[in-house]
Structure 1
């Protein structure tokens, strides 16, 4: 968060509060009103000011601050600027802890810094801490808490320019995306993009953050053209951005669109660039996401041995950080690779505990990865084709789908049908069109082989309905492009 303007600082405290502060500081320094006032002002003016009967001008405040040996900000707000520097350094350390260590440890640091910022009256630093808490909660799967933190940060910065609020908006949109609220996630991101472009607030960092965040929900709704366009616009902004973390996130988002187009070699190259940046920055969670996505790329190419290796690395890295939300996503995708390698017992050993978590035994919310649902790789929010609800619907749906496939391979059609229908019930509320269409096809094929033609036709029709829905006018107009 940046410094507030002089005008914002000046209005932070009222005339009476500033007057009391001038009186206290003058008395502590043993100065008379005349000594403080001269040569620019009179003792009578200082007396009036100290009594709170007049609001001093900025020039008067700067004169008085210089005579009292304090900063302009400290005189007008009562806050020592050294406190702000110390708080910002602490926030940087907390962010490093989140990147390289345990999210719960980072959350403790952010909580302490937020409380101190509130006590000292530093609004910007408090908002930064709230965004950090949102990121911690999102990583551990506490999506409702994450949204609450992001919303609180937005409210604190309500009167600030939009670019200052974009990190909180992006965080809230990703939390809604992981909760299965695809359209609302897109609405938040598109509204912010349109407002930035329409108001002339062409902030490349803010726009890049928003465009990359929109790729994942677009892909999951089947709006592939919009996802590709967002990737193109993000790439066009890249030369104007000097944040390597943002550039790495861009490469991950672009890789996802390339995967969907079958351009796996280019996707792997894009992921390699992101991975190199994350290794330099020592951002372990995002580095794990790169291993995760590369595992998906290898699975798409049929190199299941390399896919298993990359996914196992990703799972171990995320588990070491206790990133519950993402561990379960990777495990669903890893189970799919194990099933394809003929190791169904190992796949089931991964999937069954995930289903137990989703039935309400107190585990955190989590999301399924897209291979389980038929179509993606980890995107901006860490999720792939799958999304989540607060009860873990999508990772449960993905697990049911895989267990259905395993049951089919064993010749147990009744159990397979149960799993497919359970997956459909879980996923229908999310709008993950590709996953739903794939499940309807699997169920239809199963029913057709069993001679239940009418039921099979119903399943196929349902799948066609889901496949036809996304990417149409139901999404509204595409967001505006940045001005040339």
Structure 2
């Protein structure tokens, strides 16, 4: 049974979204008067009318006939009180589609919850679309807190997608709103940390360094332990890129000591995975430390981690195996991830995994193929202004080729010695 007035509201919304007049929709098979009564909820549609309207609107019949879960406010309340927000994602998405947009604040909250679910699942493209509407609603509501958080998360999402040219101005906007509105330490720190991460990845190390000083001097002393740990981790990443691995390690150690797993198990786990990644990027790589931290993270992720977190763990395990010289293991993990059609990794993690594939290809003796892989992703990273990532790619190519040539030279010298003997 098709409920009214919900059916009529859905019908009208679909028509208006397509920019169609009632006359255009009805064509020759229906009167505009009948359509008006359907949209107003005065008439209940027949199955034949539903099929005809679905065809005219270019949608499946189910789009018009699916049951209504309730008002957006009701569905939102259910989602917020549910044991797991992910379980409510479908109902929330349907409620947003049927929403009449009469309560911008409720719509903002529903979109924010849904975007957070998509972020945790690694579906950043879908998250991006939701964040664009969240920004519009934040401007409409004229709330500095909501505007700062919307732009901050928008910048973070763009960064995850590798769209750095758009990510930087979004992060700058978030920080400006937080400062102009004299927002809380938490909001200001969140915006500043996203900006620092983006500046580091686009190669603006001088700006990143200045902002780290501001973060540590003005905001860190007043931060809660969980956010202080994130701030120290952000500062450590900058020190690592600047080549000051001693300072980076000290900040990482301090960040890890700030949190107990009982306080925030998700952040506790994420920081250990991040510390392992940072340790592998140091020169020389701190393989033992990375293995220890990754082992701690693995014990939690394998039990309660999301699919995205599991993939991030496996990617780090592939990098760790490579640094340990366990090339067969690294190759198997790398191949399995890159061939997974449900790969959810961020742009940066995907590229780093592809770099590993290129390095392994070179070490397998297919040097030209490996060089081609690394050159392609290196150019893509440079073109998208992921300059720190591009530098990592070219450095990986150079060091891998140097290692291969050194090995070849050693083999030639050994052969010459054997022949001379």
TM-score, length of structure 1 as denominator length: 0.58
**Residues 405 and 416, structure 1, Cα contact 8 Å, conserved in 2:** yes
- The reply to whether residue 135 of structure 1 matches residue 105 of structure 2 is no
Q: How does 1:121-132 map to 2 (within 5 A)?
A: 122-132=103-113
Kindly report structure 1 stretches of 4+ aligned residues shifted beyond 6 Å.
Answer: 86-89, 112-116, 445-451
**Residues 335 and 351, structure 1, Cα contact 8 Å, conserved in 2:** yes
Return the structure number with greater helix share: 2
**Aligned position for 1:338:** 321
Shift in alpha-carbon separation, 1:165–1:244, aligned structure 2, 3 A: farther
Q: How does 1:236-255 map to 2 (within 5 A)?
A: 236-240=218-222, 245-255=226-236
CA distance in 2, matches of 1:203, 1:311: 33
- The reply to whether residue 431 of structure 1 matches residue 392 of structure 2 is no
**Aligned position for 1:287:** 268
**Aligned position for 2:414:** none
CA distance in 2, matches of 1:272, 1:404: 33
**Aligned position for 1:307:** 290
CA distance in 2, matches of 1:280, 1:316: 14
**Aligned position for 1:157:** 138
**Residues 174 and 213, structure 1, Cα contact 8 Å, conserved in 2:** yes
Deviations 1:397-431 (A, max 9, x none): 32232233234444442343233234325434432
**Residues 110 and 133, structure 1, Cα contact 8 Å, conserved in 2:** yes
**Aligned position for 1:268:** 252
Deviations 1:38-95 (A, max 9, x none): xxxxxxxxxxxxxxxxxxxxxxxxxxxxxxxxxxxxxxxxxxxxx98x999766546x
CA distance in 2, matches of 1:139, 1:396: 16
**Aligned position for 2:371:** 417
CA distance in 2, matches of 1:113, 1:290: 35
**Aligned position for 2:213:** 232
CA distance in 1, matches of 2:279, 2:398: 29
Deviations 1:340-369 (A, max 9, x none): 212111101110122224xxx4x25422xx
- The reply to whether residue 402 of structure 1 matches residue 366 of structure 2 is no
**Aligned position for 2:419:** none
Tell me how far 1:213 sits from its aligned partner: 1.4
CA distance in 1, matches of 2:170, 2:307: 25
Higher relative contact order (CA 8 A, sep 6+): 1
Q: Partner of 1:222: helix, strand, or coil?
A: coil
CA distance in 2, matches of 1:216, 1:293: 13
Q: 1:353 aligns with which of 336, 351, 374?
A: 336
CA distance in 1, matches of 2:236, 2:395: 27
Q: Partner of 1:157: helix, strand, or coil?
A: helix
Shift in alpha-carbon separation, 1:351–1:234, aligned structure 2, 3 A: same
Using the TM superposition, name which of 171-180 and 398-407 deviates more: 398-407
**Aligned position for 1:181:** 163
CA distance in 2, matches of 1:188, 1:203: 19
Q: Partner of 1:287: helix, strand, or coil?
A: helix
CA distance in 2, matches of 1:403, 1:251: 31
Tell me how far 1:135 sits from its aligned partner: 1.4
Shift in alpha-carbon separation, 1:318–1:273, aligned structure 2, 3 A: same
**Residues 141 and 323, structure 1, Cα contact 8 Å, conserved in 2:** no
Tell me how far 1:245 sits from its aligned partner: 4.4
CA distance in 2, matches of 1:208, 1:449: 42
**Aligned position for 2:192:** 211
CA distance in 1, matches of 2:117, 2:146: 20
Shift in alpha-carbon separation, 1:215–1:270, aligned structure 2, 3 A: farther
Using the TM superposition, name which of 205-214 and 329-338 deviates more: 329-338
**Residues 186 and 217, structure 1, Cα contact 8 Å, conserved in 2:** yes
Using the TM superposition, name which of 259-268 and 441-450 deviates more: 441-450
Shift in alpha-carbon separation, 1:204–1:185, aligned structure 2, 3 A: same
**Residues 180 and 430, structure 1, Cα contact 8 Å, conserved in 2:** yes
Q: Partner of 1:158: helix, strand, or coil?
A: helix
CA distance in 1, matches of 2:352, 2:186: 35
TM-score, length of structure 2 as denominator length: 0.66
Tell me how far 1:266 sits from its aligned partner: 1.5
Tell me how far 1:121 sits from its aligned partner: 5.4
Shift in alpha-carbon separation, 1:446–1:347, aligned structure 2, 3 A: closer
Unaligned residue ranges in structure 1 (runs of 5+): 1-82, 99-103, 368-387, 389-393, 452-484
Unaligned residue ranges in structure 2 (runs of 5+): 1-71, 406-421
Shift in alpha-carbon separation, 1:112–1:238, aligned structure 2, 3 A: farther
**Residues 233 and 252, structure 2, Cα contact 8 Å, conserved in 1:** no
Q: How does 1:439-458 map to 2 (within 5 A)?
A: 439-443=393-397
Q: Partner of 2:360: helix, strand, or coil?
A: helix
Deviations 1:174-209 (A, max 9, x none): 110011011311101112323443x45444332112
Number of residue-to-residue matches in the alignment: 327
CA distance in 1, matches of 2:101, 2:377: 50
